[in-house]
Structure 1
Amino acid sequence: MMMKKTLIASAVVATLGAASAQAATIAETDTTKVDMYGRINLILENDDGNNAIADNGSRIGFKASDQINDDLKAFARAEFRFPADDRDNKDDGVFQDLRNTYAGLEGGFGKLTVGNFDGLYYQSTSSVLDMMENTGYRALVEGGDRARGDTIAFETADLGGMQFGIGAKHYKEDTIDGTAYDEAFNLQAYGQFNLVENLTLAVAFDQNNEDTPDGGEDPIIGAQATYEMDVLAASVLFETAGDWMHIGAGGSYGYGSGDIYGLVSMIDDGTDMGMDLAVGANYKFSKSLRTYGEFAMGNDKPVQNAADKTVGDKSVMTLGLRYDW
């Protein structure tokens, strides 16, 4: 049996909602199964005084699996995002984004995945703070950093409470914005440990290859610890890269009809420091339907010169309605 990823295993995601929690089986034989899932997520956002109704990651997706033999399973997934708030808000088509699209094999040996998916660093480590529906989350390595495309990853099976993984993203020779790049690879790896009951630790490495279009000068190392007990989950995250340091903490509490959650994130680039805060709560009418309210407050400190990885020097209030199937 494969060891569950920290984020999937934690109450943070169990309560805040996996994308395919309400997946419906649309085809099934003795060995093959195909599920369809989706989400409509709409928000009223006050972005530092500017109001807007917007889509917040609405999507539709399909998962398939084929049991080849008792110890080997093939799997595949395809997921697409679309703007649910405005029929005219589309870029030359209904779908705006091709999300997780991959295939692979899973068995007693572990798991091999090829295609477009979140990086292993994020899955094992920095994702523990990715709990906000709208804005507020940030990390030195997020899901799409040096990932989501042309990637191959191998993860071991559960090794007595331990699991390890390594992945590589391929970059072809290319010219981007006038800069020529040679063919290159970027490596990510992690180790995850369930040392005691309810406590999971993980360490991760991102090569952050400077010879790639989205690479940097220094490799990135991260570590997280997650503790979960009944309706309570808490996580801490530490990341470092050269002069940069990120320390974050977050948690969630299930109060019966929903969840209360929040996080704090501090970035230090070696010169000065900036802190972001975010809190939220939701009310679940059913397993499929929830409403939520969130508040995020930031500063003007970007994450390694990436201004889109911070709330900014402002506050953002969100009211949302989300339906999963």
Structure 2
Amino acid sequence: MKKTALTLALAAALPSLASAEVFTYYGKANASFQSNDEGDGAITDVKSNASRLGVKGELDFDAGIQGIYKMEYEVDIAGESDETFKQRDIYAGLQGGFGQIIGGKFDTPMKLSQKRVDLFNDYEGDIKSLITKSDNRVSNSLQYTTPTYAGFRLAADYISNSKADIFDDEGNVIDTRDNGTSIALSYENNGVYLAYAIDNGVEANDWQVSRYTAQYNLGNWQLGGLYEEQEDDENIKKDGWVTSVAYKINQWTAKAQYGQSDIIKTDGETFSLGLDYKLSKAAKVFSFYTNETAAGDFERSYVGIGTEFKF
């Protein structure tokens, strides 16, 4: 009875808080019906492509300073996961003329530096699938981002891993993670976006990753490219790259993406095509095809259709 009363009280209070602009509800429902062939024959299923619910807000303080926060959780529309909610970006901090400082769990500056080059983000053709290991969302992070000056902006993230253990395949602690840093310098002006990012000790101890990104928007066209080099603790270097192009005409957007990388699998190669139709500012239907290959007779392909609603 007490829990029910508390729930009703919170439900009554939340709309009034929202109307006072203390916070904003938001979310995305994205689901696709697709055929997946990963080498053992094609199977069909429904995928929840990083669908999410979140709340975010700003609180005005004195001297032009604002308190900011965000709490975002992934929701599995397909019902395959036992977890109702899975943490995404969760943070609190301050922003003002000095820039922004936040602490919590969120995307690293390197991950964000890719801008919109990855046209198949959250789908099977996501660059995390075969191109890079460095699109990370990490906990225990403290990040400072400068204001934008003449198109330039710097973001620096300090990641505390002093209590993070490293385990072997049998679950035994074999080492302790060191602290890491992720830094990105970007420039954006008149449709041109350029970025350089470097991770040190984020993926693993003594691993260094550098990434170069370029994106150009001209009329209905968007062109993008990304190159990344990874060096592990044994000084072994691997690299990968991806290019993408999108063309919009009325409500339609045609997309293509191609990349090669040795970072995840030797001789990895990925190719994706997509076609979106915009129903409204907050809704679209989409289709995609992705094919991935690598050394050792590795090959998998995916084809799907789906809907996305933002609110």
TM-score range, shorter chain: 0.7 to 0.9
Matches within 5 A, 1:253-292: 253-268=247-262, 273-292=267-286
TM-score, normalization by structure 2: 0.81
| Matched length | 279
Q: Deviations over 1:132-190 (max 9, x none)?
A: 4511122424432xx42111111111122211111111111535321333352111101
Work out whether 1:324 is the aligned partner of 2:287: no
The residue that corresponds to 1:314 in the other structure is 300
CA contact (8 A) 2:109 2:155 kept: yes
CA contact (8 A) 2:166 2:177 kept: no
Matches within 5 A, 1:123-272: 123-125=112-114, 128-138=117-127, 139-144=131-136, 147-171=137-161, 172-174=163-165, 176=167, 177-182=171-176, 184-194=178-188, 197-208=190-201, 214-215=203-204, 218-242=207-231, 243-268=237-262
CA contact (8 A) 1:252 1:262 kept: yes
The residue that corresponds to 2:18 in the other structure is 27
How far residue 246 of structure 1 moved from its aligned partner, in angstroms, is 0.9
User: Relative contact order, CA 8 A, sep 6+: which one is greater?
Assistant: 1
- Secondary structure at 1:27 match in 2: helix
CA contact (8 A) 1:122 1:141 kept: no
How far residue 272 of structure 1 moved from its aligned partner, in angstroms, is 5.6
How far residue 83 of structure 1 moved from its aligned partner, in angstroms, is 2.0
Distance in 1 (CA, whole Å) between partners of 2:245 and 2:175 is 41
The residue that corresponds to 1:100 in the other structure is 89
Counterpart amino acid of residue 209 in structure 2: I
Match of 2:65 among 47, 54, 72: 72
Task: Check 1:301–1:34 CA distance in 2 against 1; reply closer, same or farther (3 A cut).
Answer: farther
Counterpart amino acid of residue 309 in structure 2: Y
Gaps of 5+ in 2: 1-14, 232-236
CA contact (8 A) 1:132 1:280 kept: no
Highest CA radius of gyration, 1 or 2? 2
- Secondary structure at 2:139 match in 1: coil
Matches within 5 A, 1:290-305: 290-300=284-294
Matches within 5 A, 1:110-121: 110-121=99-110
Task: Check 1:218–1:301 CA distance in 2 against 1; reply closer, same or farther (3 A cut).
Answer: farther
Task: Check 1:301–1:203 CA distance in 2 against 1; reply closer, same or farther (3 A cut).
Answer: farther
Distance in 2 (CA, whole Å) between partners of 1:297 and 1:75 is 41
Gaps of 5+ in 1: 1-23, 303-311
Distance in 1 (CA, whole Å) between partners of 2:238 and 2:191 is 30
- Secondary structure at 1:150 match in 2: strand
Distance in 1 (CA, whole Å) between partners of 2:309 and 2:269 is 32
Distance in 2 (CA, whole Å) between partners of 1:227 and 1:199 is 5
CA contact (8 A) 1:126 1:141 kept: no
TM-score, normalization by structure 1: 0.78
Counterpart amino acid of residue 315 in structure 1: S
Q: Deviations over 1:44-76 (max 9, x none)?
A: 111111111232222111111112135211110
Counterpart amino acid of residue 166 in structure 1: A
Identity %: 18
CA contact (8 A) 2:119 2:244 kept: no
Q: Could you say what the CA RMSD is over the residues aligned between the two structures, in angstroms?
A: 2.5
Match of 1:59 among 52, 67, 74: 52
Counterpart amino acid of residue 316 in structure 1: Y
How far residue 78 of structure 1 moved from its aligned partner, in angstroms, is 0.7
